[in-house]
Amino acid sequence: MPRLLILAGGAAVLVFTAGSVGCGGEDELPEARVAPAPAPARLTAEERRALGRYDRLIQGHCVRVAESILGSGAGPSARQEMRAFAAADALVALAAEKPGAPLGAGQDTRLFLSDVLENLDGSNCDPRMTALLGQGLAQIPPEG
């Protein structure tokens, strides 16, 4: 209810009490409810084993490329190259599908892909391989 107060000197002031200004009952604010973030997708046992295979195929390809550049070995065969690039494609696809899948010790599939790429840095690997992995990693949104 508004109240009229008359001050010394004849000035009148209309005062509203806090309880009378509001709409509805108790002036309650609705609680903000935020849904928890969904848990990251998990890798199956087969997908975990596949990560190791992909890494070995990619690393093996890069070793053979480097040896051929240095003249200490033959480069990868067409079949070895095909398998290595198929492994790189599969690694990028799995990391894109399940980027936050935990692998232990604070690592996830996105970080695994990043580590594979980092391990190739300075290794004289096939630049097409590093480009494929780098472009794949760049397409995976960062955590957030």
Q: How far is CA 37 from CA 40, 41, 103, 109, in A?
A: 9, 12, 19, 18
Digits of tens for pLDDT over the chain (144 positions)? 555 545 555 555 555 555 545 555 556 666 767 777 677 789 999 999 999 999 999 999 999 999 999 998 889 999 999 999 999 999 999 999 999 999 988 899 999 999 999 999 888 899 999 999 999 999 998 874
**Considering the entire predicted model, what is its pTM?**
0.72
CA distance 17 to 1: 7
Boundaries of every domain in the chain: 45-138
Three-state SS letters, 14-37:
EEECHHHCCCCCCCCCCCCCCCCC
